């Protein structure tokens, strides 16, 4: 098979893209902890879902573990941005580990909603993806048996909850807005009295990045998304494009780019999931220039100025 013939094309960058405030905060927490306490600092699970970020922090002295039993006594351990079950916090306290919580404040909001609803005697339905760290953390905020996970409209159809139950729902923060709306609609049809969160659970950054992809769809025949295979919000960006009939591909870096993906395109859209650093975007742009990109434009859909405060122990002497 011969090398594809490349013609001139435009590159349109989504804005916003890449790091969100929760990811910035989590990375800052690890770096500040390394400065304050020295290496090694232990981190339970990947601090965010991006191997470039994780490898960079590992090089500075962060040690990534799956469970707390891998953390030595008297060590400092950080909980990832995705959040953890209450049982993990309890274990850290029992062992006397110095633990620092890097959970995104928007995930913490969902945790508080869930635990508050459970205390009021409501049965909770969590809309999310089974096995995702954020989902595991949210499930672990309430007593076993008081929360049911659904992933699809089909899951809703098979629910057999007691009609007399007081039911409420919460969602994973990094879902597709369109898919989630369909699931919520199915829940409300099946359980007309179901309680919704006071505020939307899908985070502002996830919403903005999906809206930015929808804007790219008006101009681009191909959309490239930088992000990790296990990054929920990055995968949702690919889905948003594909569901609209646009070719879309998930790349971890510019080296993953197959030139045939952009062959014949007049405009190629580029975005990045909330855990992907801007450096990866610029490297991909350079690769696209080599393949014939003549102009690079930015399509601004929203400006993000959100900042989250850091744990006081890392910002004071």
The pLDDT tens digits of the residues spanning 54-85 come to 999 999 999 999 999 999 998 999 999 999 99
The domain ranges of the chain are 9-19+203-300, 21-104, 106-190
pTM above 0.85, yes or no: yes
CATH topology of domain 21-104: Rossmann fold (3.40.50)
- Between 164 and 15, residue with greater pLDDT: 15
Does the structure show a pLDDT above 60 at 162?
yes
Q: Which CATH architecture has domain 9-19+203-300?
A: 3-Layer(aba) Sandwich (3.40)
The Cα 300–Cα 297 span in angstroms is 10
Does the structure show a pLDDT above 80 at 4?
no
Question: Which long-range contacts (C-beta less than 8 Å, at least 24 apart) are formed by 29-34?
Answer: 29/78, 29/100, 29/102, 29/310, 29/311, 29/314, 30/57, 30/62, 30/78, 30/102, 31/57, 31/60, 32/310, 32/314, 32/315, 33/76, 33/78, 33/100, 33/314, 34/60, 34/61, 34/62
Q: What is the arithmetic mean of pLDDT over 9-36?
A: 97
The predicted structure's pLDDT at residue 310: 96
Query: What are the pLDDT digits (tens) for 205-241?
Result: 999 999 999 999 999 999 999 999 999 999 999 999 9
Q: Taking Cα atoms as reference points, which of 147, 142, 146 lies closest to residue 127?
A: 147
The predicted structure's pLDDT at residue 149: 98
Matching fold, domains 9-19+203-300 and 21-104: no
pLDDT averaged over the chain? 95
Q: Which of 178-182, 195-199, 277-281, 303-307 has the least mean pLDDT?
A: 195-199
The predicted structure's pLDDT at residue 307: 95
Does the structure show a pLDDT above 70 at 249?
yes
Q: Write the class of the CATH domain 106-190.
A: alpha beta
The predicted structure's pLDDT at residue 1: 45
Does the structure show a pLDDT above 70 at 186?
yes
Q: Annotated active-site positions, please?
A: 134
Does the structure show a pLDDT above 90 at 2?
no
Task: Name 195's bridge partners.
Answer: 168
Q: What is the arithmetic mean of pLDDT over 98-127?
A: 96
């Amino acid at each position: 098979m011969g090398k594809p013939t490349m013609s001139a094309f435009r590159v349109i960058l989504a804005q916003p893209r890449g790091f969100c405030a929760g990811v910035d905060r989590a990375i800052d927490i690890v770096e500040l902890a390394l400065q304050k306490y020295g290496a090694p600092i232990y981190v339970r699970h990947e601090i965010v879902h991006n191997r470039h970020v994780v490898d960079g922090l590992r090089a500075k002295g962060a040690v990534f573990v799956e469970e707390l039993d891998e953390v030595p006594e008297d060590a400092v351990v950080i909980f990832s941005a995705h959040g953890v079950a209450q049982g993990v916090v309890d274990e850290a306290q029992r062992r006397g580990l110095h633990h620092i919580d890097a959970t995104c404040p928007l995930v913490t909001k969902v945790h508080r909603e869930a635990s508050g609803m459970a205390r009021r005697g409501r049965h909770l339905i969590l809309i999310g993806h089974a096995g995702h760290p954020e989902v595991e953390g949210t499930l672990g905020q309430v007593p076993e048996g008081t929360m049911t996970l659904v992933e699809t409209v089909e899951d809703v159809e098979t629910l057999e909850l007691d009609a007399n139950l007081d039911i409420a729902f919460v969602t994973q923060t990094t879902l597709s807005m369109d898919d989630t709306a369909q699931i919520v609609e199915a829940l409300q049809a099946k359980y007309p009295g179901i309680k919704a969160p006071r505020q939307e659970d899908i985070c502002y950054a996830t919403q903005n990045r999906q809206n930015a992809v929808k804007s790219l769809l008006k101009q681009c025949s191909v959309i490239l998304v930088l992000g990790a295979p296990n990054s929920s919000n990055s995968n949702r960006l690919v889905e948003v494009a594909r569901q609209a009939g646009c070719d879309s591909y998930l790349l971890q870096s510019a080296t993953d780019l197959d030139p045939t993906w952009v062959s014949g395109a007049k405009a190629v859209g580029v975005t990045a999931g909330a855990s992907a650093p801007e450096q990866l975007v610029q490297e991909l742009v350079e690769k696209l220039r080599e393949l014939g990109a003549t102009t690079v434009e930015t399509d601004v859909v929203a400006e993000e100025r959100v900042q989250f405060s850091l744990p006081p122990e890392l910002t004071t002497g």
